[in-house]
Structure formats: C-alpha cells, structure tokens
Amino acid sequence: MDKLNRSFQSSIDNSCFLKNYLHNQSAENAGEQMLGKPGLLSARDGAPVVVERASGQSRVILICEHAGRAIPEVLGDMGLSAALLESHIAWDPGALAVSRLLSTALDSMLVHQRFSRLVYDCNRPPEASDSTPEISEVFAVPANRGLGPVAKAERAEALYLPFHERIDQLLDETAHTARNAVIVTIHSFTPVFKGQKRDVEIGILHDSDRRLADCMLKKASAASGYDVRRNEPYAPVDGVTHTLRRHALQRGLLNVMIEVRNDLIADAVGQGR
C-alpha cells in the first residue's frame, strides 16, 4: 500500500498530527512471542502474540488484532468447515501482509495476534457479547454457542490479556518517548457484507480523537486514488475502536484505525500498491 504509506507518513510528519479482575492480572513475557496464560493453549499451539521490528525507530506502533487464523488444538475446527476457517469470519485476509509492508517502510514496531477472532476477538473487551461470537456475519459458530462466564474468561486470559498487556508493556518500556507514540491498527473488510455491496475501498476510522484521521483524510482524498471515507465501513458505535480506546485515548496518543477492502489486497501486487 505505497500510496497509503506516503499519505500516512506525511500526516505524521506534519503532526496534524474482564472485568477488573482479569484486567489486573499479570502476563509473562516470552521475548518476541508472548505465551498465553495456561488453560486454553498448549505448548503445541505456540504463543498468541508476536512482536516484529521491536527496535524500529518510528514513532508508530502498528497493531494487527485479526492477523491470524490459528485455532487452539483443544477447540478442533470449532464446528466449522475449512473454507469458513479460511474466510473473513476467521481473520482479516491481507491485513498482516499490509502491516508488514508498512512496518518495513516506516521502520515501525508491529504487534499482531496469531489466533482467530472466532476464538477471541482482541479488538473487543471481555464484557462485549461479540468478543466470542456465537454468530459471525451470517454463520453460526458451534464452539462458541452457550459459553459460560468461566469459558469466556479462559479465552480472555489466553488471548486478550497477553495481547493487550504486551502492548501496554511496550508503551511502558518506552515511557520517555511514549507521549509521542502513534497507535495505528490495520484491518481488512469484505467487498460484500450480508448481501450489500461496499463501494468504499479504504476506511479511516477514529473514536473521539480525530486529529490523525483528519490529516490522513485530507491527504488521501487528493493523492491516494482510492475511495477513502471516514468511519466506514464501520464506526465507533460498532465497537471497533476498543484497541484505540484502551491504548491511545487514555494516554492522549495520536491514533487511527485503517480498514482496507480485502479484494484490493488479495495478492502481493495489491498489497504493495
């Protein structure tokens, strides 16, 4: 996404620019990958959180909550077909590839989640009903049907806490520069949703802090060549700005969420545009 990168970098350079008991538990740091809490994940599953380009010199911290589609061994196929587990309901296709290209171009740290949002959506707080969705888009998720509080807490402990505590830790480790950090989350969306075609190609999303989004939208409308819109195809009312709210808004950091239509980034050519 070379045009997106240029617009984003220009905006930054111009500085236009589980409840409490779960939230307060500590997490173990395992270097580049952070191990989840015991219970849901086995050693064979591997770590849920990955940090790339940890020594990047950019102010930007890239976050990709829906980067992966791994399923813990204990959950099997979650009652879903292989095709569904490869589809958008399980992850954001192309988002990690775009994140890595931006990380390289900006020399930015990248934090991403390996496990599917069907197991736990790391862009939702533990109290959110869609953090472990029983229905994703129009598809029932059998393994999530009727989950009780203990099972939901286990999912949050294994995936949500290590992910967000690692981001907190990274910000704390750079406390002397953290006030200048820029939080950017990267996502992708489908060209058709519940039968409705989406014309928007790139969404620039924000919560109550619109500073960076305003700059990006001003530059993108003139230079990107894409159909770029504010708070589409989702908006804060849809609950999609949790990561921004948790890590950026409470610290007063510049932040934005970028949504790219996934048919535009389905291959290396599209990802690099």
As a whole number, mean pLDDT of residues 73-82 equals 98
Q: Does pLDDT of 58 surpass 70?
A: yes
Q: Give the pLDDT confidence of 86-143 residue by residue, as tens digits.
A: 999 999 999 999 999 999 999 999 999 999 999 999 999 999 999 999 999 999 999 9
Q: How far is it, in rounded angstroms, from Cα 57 to Cα 6?
A: 17
Evaluate whether 144 touches 118 at the Cβ level (below 8 Å). Answer: yes
Using CA atoms, how far apart are residues 102 and 162, in angstroms rounded to an integer?
24
Q: Contacts from 177-181 at CB under 8 Å and sequence distance 24+?
A: 177/59, 178/251, 178/253, 179/251, 179/252, 179/253, 180/59, 181/59, 181/60, 181/61, 181/251, 181/253, 181/254
Q: 2-272 has which CATH code? A: 3.40.630.40
User: What is the rounded distance in angstroms from the CA atom of residue 174 to the CA atom of residue 47?
Assistant: 23
Label residue 199 by pLDDT band (50, 70, 90).
very high
- Phi-psi category of residue 183: left, alpha or beta, with phi > 0 → left and psi -120 to 50 → alpha: beta
User: Does 50 have pLDDT greater than 60?
Assistant: yes
pLDDT at 252: 93
State pLDDT tens for residues 11-35.
655 544 343 434 333 333 333 455 5
User: What is residue 173's predicted lDDT score, i.e. its pLDDT?
Assistant: 83
Which residues are within 8 A (CB) of 240 and not within 5 positions of it... i.e. 6 or more apart?
123, 187, 205, 234, 257
d(CA 37, CA 41): 8
Rounded to the nearest 10 degrees, what angle do helices 2-13 and 211-223 cross at? 130
In the chain, % of residues over pLDDT 70: 83
% residues pLDDT > 90 (the chain) = 78
Residue 13: per-residue pLDDT? 56
pLDDT, position 41: 95
The pLDDT, as a whole number, for residue 5 is 63
- Report domain extents, the chain: 2-272
